[in-house]
């Protein structure tokens, strides 16, 4: 039976709330939770919560265990290294393809707005606003690449990266280099320099991976 628009909205709300609880560490990695518990916590019925957990399971954030509720997935350093390796290659390919498409300035306006939002967030030292703008930049970059399969794979893995980033957001240095990298990728795409766009984004993702993995190791935030 098809869901009504209202039911879809409730399911989406449940998914976003559970995902945020995971990102905030309130649903800790490795912890188990009953469907009824999550429903009570969110003030919702069990049906949208059940549907939301199935969606989050597809995103790799939790595991649905029949008759046992859900378990929040625990990522290891090896998991993060593998995820970043895949994201680095796919996003770099997207940057290259975006540069080949000959976009005009109007086509790149959302990418530019994301960069400007990141720069403002850093000026205000608002790390959460920076993280939201950073997400917007990477999502738009992949969209501009025009490959729907890359978009699907990156979206699935990006949620796991967001969780790790949320854990390290306030213990890392201000991401000034990240903003410089984003601007360089944007400029390369705008000029139609495909090889440079790929190279700069590849370097950016590699550096981001090194920073994240070092923080996770230093603060022992993930399993070895």
Q: What is the pLDDT along the chain (224 residues), one digit of tens a residue?
A: 344 444 567 999 999 899 888 877 788 888 999 999 999 999 999 999 999 999 888 877 889 998 889 998 877 888 889 999 999 999 999 999 999 999 999 999 999 999 999 999 999 999 989 999 999 999 999 999 999 999 999 988 888 888 788 778 888 888 999 999 999 999 999 999 999 999 999 999 999 999 988 888 887 767 65
The 3-class secondary structure across 11-79, one letter per residue, is HHHHHHHHHHHHHCCCCCCCCEECHHHHHHHHCCCHHHHHHHHHHHHHCCCEEEECCCEEEECCCEHHH
C-alpha dist (Å) from residue 154 to 159, 193, 218: 9, 23, 27
Closest CA to 46 of 20, 93, 11: 11
> Rounded distance, CA 219 to CA 61, Å?
21
> Rounded distance, CA 118 to CA 134, Å?
7
> Rounded distance, CA 170 to CA 155, Å?
24
> Rounded distance, CA 46 to CA 63, Å?
17
The 3-class secondary structure across 114-183, one letter per residue, is HHHHHHHHHHCCCHHHHHHHHHHHHHHHHHHHCCHHHHHHHHHHHHHHHHHHHHHCCCCCCCHHHHHHHH
Q: Using the structure block, give the residue that is written with the tokens 């201000």.
A: 174
pTM score > 0.85 for this model?
no
Concatenate the DSSP letters of all residues of 95-108 into one string: HHHHHHTT--GGGG
> Rounded distance, CA 112 to CA 5, Å?
33
14, 49 contact by CB (below 8 A):
yes
Structure tokens at 167: 């854990």
């Amino acid at each position: 039976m098809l869901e009504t628009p209202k039911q879809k909205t409730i399911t989406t709300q449940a998914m976003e709330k559970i995902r945020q609880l995971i990102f905030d560490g309130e649903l800790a990695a490795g912890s188990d939770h009953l469907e009824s518990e999550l429903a009570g916590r969110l003030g919702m019925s069990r049906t949208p919560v059940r549907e939301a957990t199935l969606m989050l399971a597809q995103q790799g954030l939790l595991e649905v265990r029949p008759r046992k509720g859900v378990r929040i997935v625990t990522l290891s350093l090896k998991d993060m290294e593998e995820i970043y390796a895949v994201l680095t290659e796919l996003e770099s390919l997207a940057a290259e393809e975006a540069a080949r498409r000959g976009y005009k300035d109007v086509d790149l306006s959302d990418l530019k707005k994301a960069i400007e939002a990141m720069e403002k967030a850093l000026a205000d030292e608002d790390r959460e606003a920076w993280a939201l703008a950073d997400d917007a930049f990477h999502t738009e970059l992949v969209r501009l690449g025009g490959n729907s399969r890359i978009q699907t794979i990156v979206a699935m893995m990006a949620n796991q990266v967001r969780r790790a980033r949320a854990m390290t957001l306030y213990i890392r240095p201000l991401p000034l280099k990240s903003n410089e990298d984003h601007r360089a990728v944007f400029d390369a795409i705008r000029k139609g320099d495909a090889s440079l766009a790929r190279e700069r984004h590849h370097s950016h993702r590699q550096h981001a991976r090194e920073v994240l993995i070092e923080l996770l190791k230093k603060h022992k935030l993930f399993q070895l």
